[in-house]
Chain A
Amino acid sequence: MKKSKLLMIVGALLLLGLFFLPLWNITLEAPQYPDAIGMDIYIDRFEDANPNDIKNINIMNHYVGMEDIPETIPEFSIFPKVILGMVALGVVFGFIGSRKLYTTWFVIMIILGSIGMYDFYQWEYDYGHNLKETAAIKFTTPDGEPMAYQPPLIGSKMILNFKAISMPRIGAYMMFLGMGLSLAASFQHKKENGNDKAPKPDAAGRPAVV
């Protein structure tokens, strides 16, 4: 099999890692939590970074009126299907072996990824802003606005006494690698076939002399 095809197929298959490895993680650090508490986000579920972490985040956050982290969200039924679709598509594209299709797959991934990040941001925004009227503790910002507790999209920020850190996890890195491989497949394809506009090999398969 041609190297480019292999790169594309392997790249697409790397997405399968998302089915058993976390995509994202949010960690909260504070002095009175010497073992930081956190949550791993998979494509189909939230999971405790350490046992009971989500329960303990909920207990803490309920004082400022935040809702519990939901058991499930609609995305969890959509993401696996989309990922599986993209794996299938990538494998098929790989077998077809067209550079255009490789690029197309990469572009779709970029678009889907952007939608995913936007969706994640929306959820975080809602989680950090949708506070119960009856909250026991109501903090305000220096300009008098109600304080929000939205975790960062990526990177870290201080929220009251907690440092909130939001970073991709191994599943995401495998996905990025997969996307990278689809790009590499594109370049490899170009290398293997020369310029698409170059003269085709002759009937005996000898490369054309340029």
Chain B
Amino acid sequence: MKRNFKYITGVLLVISLIAFVRCQSSNQGGALGGDVAQKVYVAPGEHDEFYALVSGGFSGQLAVYGLPSGRLFRVVPVFSVDAEKAYGFNEETKPMLNTSHGFIPWDDAHHPDISQTNGELDGRWVFINGNNTPRIARISLSTFETEEIIELPNSAGNHSSSFVTENTEYVVAGTRFSVPVPQQDISIEEYKGKFKGAMSFIKVDQETGHMDLSFQIMMPGFNYDLAHPGRGKSHGWMFFSTYNTEEANSLLEVNASQNDKDFIAAINWKKAEELIAAGEFTTMPSEYAHNIYDESTHTATSTIKKEVRVIDPSKHPGLVYFLPTPKSPHGCDVDPTGEYIIGSGKLAAALTAHSFTNMLDAIKNEKFDGEAYGIPILNYDDIVAGVVQQAGLGPLHTEFDGKGNAYTTFFISSEVVKWKLGTWEVLDRQPTYYSVGHLMIPGGNSRKPFGKYVLAMNKITKDRYLPTGPELTQSAQLYDISGEKMELLLDFPTVGEPHYAAGIPADLIKPRQTKIYKLEDNQHPFVARSEKETKVVREGNEVHIYMTTIRSHFAPDNIEGIKVGDKVYFHVTNLEQDYDVPHGISMIGAQTSELLIMPGQTETFIWEPKKVGVWPFYCTDFCSALHQEMQGYVRVSPKGSNVPLKWTLDGE
């Protein structure tokens, strides 16, 4: 018995020793893991180093994250209505979503691009394209509000957009689908030759940011996939990748994948400017909406424009050249020096880098290899600078770290590959989870990248997170690229489908922030700048309530004399002038969203009461200690009643 006990004790001792050793070794693993965790840990109250402005894809919005933490701060409503922020619901922002097809509550937002000065990020605005009903939006990086949306005529599937030139002279947008220009009732089989691809050059006012569709270059009926501007030595040129140079109009997955090479179109927009100045264009009747949100009236207006200037490249030698590029190139990226134009043949295993210097040489010596619709095709061998061989499967997009390295995503093989510009050798590869699309290095498509992190954006997540039924989140993954090898740091879910993103050091954005709107600058036609200015005005069956909010009451908060059948406008001004004190308001039975009103702002919702009674409204944003007391009543009388119009606060 005693021996047995000793024996058992001995065995237990050995087991616990083993357990101890194992524990020790797993602790070491934990310590290594902790090192990675530290790199993305932003302590409570501390700020992230970078902003990441990540497109929401089919959500139509733009999400604002911090890097390296991956924390989500805000979703900026751009092309889709957003009930939370009343975007597209309140009377002030409804015009933002107007188009030549009428009010459109949704779009597919793809490629954000931050404004630049001298080829470097300047933090003024971010532009983003709406794919489906072609539009370009401009978002202020002081207010993080969408300030302007311009529709693009003659365009369809606005995908090779929205990319800014080196000094934000233009934001450039290319059509993905070619369409009949002008639109007409013809057979789809007449595609070849009849369909055109419009490349839009939108001039940007440097003071206000206001956009103006300056001209369109009417290209052959290919699909224009992505674009990037020349920079440095290639400033003045814009590069677009194409597919479907076969000009197929059905079963494109097969019929548009037959040519061994498609093109990158190089457009000399400085030349286009000269043509415009010389009157070498035609003015085409057209119809497109231009919507501007005015910060002083807190209100958007929509104007329908009626014409556009069009340049036919076949008539103007020197305006456009085609650079043959293998296998339906998707990404079209220009390195920080402006010398290399990288085409990612998405059906190939290799990447092609064209040399801008070689291109100019070939043009100078007129070494052309035929033409397409009057546009010269350069000889592939004359212009290619190098090929990254066997880098992966299905290359899509490339960004640059400013240290001579490039990073390319491969959709089919789900990886990010680091390679060297000039030697074209592969340096490193890291898996993504899964099916990566774009990637982003802050400033990675400018003259001055901030090459510390790369963010890869994935289409598919499968088993990566807690499952949520059939529909799963998309994701972004953050890699540290400061060393020789990339290191996966973080994996976080995203809003909608992250197509592309734009990153920028926080220090370029933080000092620009608008904290409040000044009440004295509020020029809204229905503003009440103080409680003394509040009133209720009846005009026939329309009733306008000039209401104010301040912690913690509405003025007025008792309203009588409203009748069934009235159209009641709540024009609500937030009198607060303190940072981060919005108020909300919502009325029972109002067939719209709440309002969420920033300090100094006026917003309007409409309520059409259908039932007699006394109906409450209340503040929807927890604003203060007496938020729950922030409420009011409207008395609704039957149609034709003669209850007088009366409005009070605390009986006065």
Q: Given the interface contacts A51-B577, A52-B577, A52-B578, does A59 sit within 8 Å of B625 by beta carbon?
A: no
Question: Which residue of the partner chain, among B550, B578, B625, contacts A63 with CB atoms under 8 Å?
Answer: B625
Please name all residues of chain B whose beta carbon is closer than 8 Å to the beta carbon of A63 when the two chains form the complex: 624-626
Contact residues, A120-164 vs B (CB, 8 A): 136-137
Residue of A nearest to B550 (CB): A59
Is residue A56 contacting chain B, with contact meaning CB distance below 8 A? yes
Chain B contact residues: over half helix, strand or loop, or mixed? loop
CA distance A35 to B579 in the complex (A): 10
CA distance A35 to B550 in the complex (A): 21
B202, chain A: closest CB distance, angstroms: 36
B577 and A137 contact, CB distance less than 8 A: no
Is residue B551 contacting chain A, with contact meaning CB distance below 8 A? yes
Question: Which residue of the partner chain, among B516, B578, B629, contacts A59 with CB atoms under 8 Å?
Answer: B578
Is residue A81 contacting chain B, with contact meaning CB distance below 8 A? no
Binary interface encoding of chain B residues 611-652 relative to chain A, with 1 for a CB under 8 A from any of its CBs, else 0 = 000000000000011100100000000000000000000000
Contact residues, B573-596 vs A (CB, 8 A): 576-579
Is residue A55 contacting chain B, with contact meaning CB distance below 8 A? yes
CA distance A132 to B578 in the complex (A): 24
Please name all residues of chain B whose beta carbon is closer than 8 Å to the beta carbon of A51 when the two chains form the complex: 577
Q: Given the interface contacts A59-B550, A59-B551, does A136 sit within 8 Å of B578 by beta carbon?
A: no
Please name all residues of chain B whose beta carbon is closer than 8 Å to the beta carbon of A52 when the two chains form the complex: 516, 577-578
Binary interface encoding of chain B residues 150-161 relative to chain A, with 1 for a CB under 8 A from any of its CBs, else 0 = 000000000000
A55 and B577 contact, CB distance less than 8 A: yes
B625 and A56 contact, CB distance less than 8 A: no
B577, chain A: closest CB distance, angstroms: 4
Contact residues, B538-596 vs A (CB, 8 A): 550-551, 576-579
Residue of A nearest to B626 (CB): A136
Please name all residues of chain A whose beta carbon is closer than 8 Å to the beta carbon of B579 when the two chains form the complex: 35
Question: Which residue of the partner chain, among B577, B626, B629, contacts A56 with CB atoms under 8 Å?
Answer: B577
Please name all residues of chain B whose beta carbon is closer than 8 Å to the beta carbon of A59 when the two chains form the complex: 550-551, 576, 578
A174, chain B: closest CB distance, angstroms: 32
CA distance A63 to B577 in the complex (A): 17
A162, chain B: closest CB distance, angstroms: 14
Please name all residues of chain A whose beta carbon is closer than 8 Å to the beta carbon of B626 when the two chains form the complex: 63, 136
Residue of A nearest to B600 (CB): A52
CA distance A52 to B550 in the complex (A): 14
Please name all residues of chain B whose beta carbon is closer than 8 Å to the beta carbon of A35 when the two chains form the complex: 579
CA distance A137 to B626 in the complex (A): 9
B139, chain A: closest CB distance, angstroms: 26
CA distance A52 to B578 in the complex (A): 7
A15, chain B: closest CB distance, angstroms: 34
Please name all residues of chain A whose beta carbon is closer than 8 Å to the beta carbon of B550 when the two chains form the complex: 59
A89, chain B: closest CB distance, angstroms: 42
A160, chain B: closest CB distance, angstroms: 12
CA distance A56 to B516 in the complex (A): 13
A112, chain B: closest CB distance, angstroms: 37
Contact residues, A11-58 vs B (CB, 8 A): 35, 51-52, 55-56
CA distance A48 to B614 in the complex (A): 42
CA distance A136 to B550 in the complex (A): 15
Binary interface encoding of chain A residues 51-85 relative to chain B, with 1 for a CB under 8 A from any of its CBs, else 0 = 11001100100010000000000000000000000
B578, chain A: closest CB distance, angstroms: 5
A183, chain B: closest CB distance, angstroms: 45
CA distance A17 to B3 in the complex (A): 97
Please name all residues of chain B whose beta carbon is closer than 8 Å to the beta carbon of A137 when the two chains form the complex: 625
Residue of A nearest to B580 (CB): A32
Residue of A nearest to B518 (CB): A51
Please name all residues of chain A whose beta carbon is closer than 8 Å to the beta carbon of B551 when the two chains form the complex: 59
Binary interface encoding of chain B residues 310-323 relative to chain A, with 1 for a CB under 8 A from any of its CBs, else 0 = 00000000000000
CA distance A63 to B626 in the complex (A): 9
Residue of A nearest to B576 (CB): A59
A6, chain B: closest CB distance, angstroms: 46
Binary interface encoding of chain A residues 98-133 relative to chain B, with 1 for a CB under 8 A from any of its CBs, else 0 = 000000000000000000000000000000000000
B363, chain A: closest CB distance, angstroms: 57
CA distance A103 to B625 in the complex (A): 55
A59, chain B: closest CB distance, angstroms: 5
CA distance A55 to B578 in the complex (A): 9
Residue of B nearest to A60 (CB): B551
CA distance A63 to B551 in the complex (A): 9
Residue of B nearest to A51 (CB): B577
- Which of A52, A55, A56, A137 gathers most chain B CB within 10 Å? A52
B244, chain A: closest CB distance, angstroms: 55
Residue of B nearest to A48 (CB): B577
Contact residues, B507-522 vs A (CB, 8 A): 516
- Which of A51, A59, A63 gathers most chain B CB within 10 Å? A59
A49, chain B: closest CB distance, angstroms: 13
CA distance A35 to B513 in the complex (A): 15
Please name all residues of chain A whose beta carbon is closer than 8 Å to the beta carbon of B624 when the two chains form the complex: 63
Please name all residues of chain A whose beta carbon is closer than 8 Å to the beta carbon of B625 when the two chains form the complex: 63, 136-137
Residue of A nearest to B577 (CB): A52
Please name all residues of chain B whose beta carbon is closer than 8 Å to the beta carbon of A56 when the two chains form the complex: 577-578
Please name all residues of chain A whose beta carbon is closer than 8 Å to the beta carbon of B577 when the two chains form the complex: 51-52, 55-56
Please name all residues of chain B whose beta carbon is closer than 8 Å to the beta carbon of A55 when the two chains form the complex: 577-578
CA distance A51 to B578 in the complex (A): 9
CA distance A136 to B650 in the complex (A): 14
CA distance A110 to B578 in the complex (A): 40
CA distance A51 to B519 in the complex (A): 12
A67, chain B: closest CB distance, angstroms: 17
CA distance A136 to B552 in the complex (A): 11
B600, chain A: closest CB distance, angstroms: 10
CA distance A74 to B389 in the complex (A): 85
Please name all residues of chain A whose beta carbon is closer than 8 Å to the beta carbon of B576 when the two chains form the complex: 59
CA distance A10 to B516 in the complex (A): 44
A34, chain B: closest CB distance, angstroms: 9
CA distance A51 to B577 in the complex (A): 9
CA distance A23 to B577 in the complex (A): 26
A145, chain B: closest CB distance, angstroms: 22
CA distance A51 to B517 in the complex (A): 12
Residue of B nearest to A55 (CB): B577
Residues on B lying within 8 angstroms of A by beta carbon are 516, 550-551, 576-579, 624-626, 629
A-B contact pairs, 20 of them (CB 8 A): A35-B579, A51-B577, A52-B516, A52-B577, A52-B578, A55-B577, A55-B578, A56-B577, A56-B578, A59-B550, A59-B551, A59-B576, A59-B578, A63-B624, A63-B625, A63-B626, A136-B625, A136-B626, A136-B629, A137-B625
- Given contacts A51-B577, A55-B577, A59-B576, could you give 17 more A-B pairs where the C-beta distance is less than 8 Å? A35-B579, A52-B516, A52-B577, A52-B578, A55-B578, A56-B577, A56-B578, A59-B550, A59-B551, A59-B578, A63-B624, A63-B625, A63-B626, A136-B625, A136-B626, A136-B629, A137-B625
Report the 9 A-B pairs with minimum CB-CB distance, sorted nearest first.
Answer: A52-B577, A56-B578, A59-B551, A136-B626, A55-B577, A63-B625, A52-B578, A59-B550, A63-B626
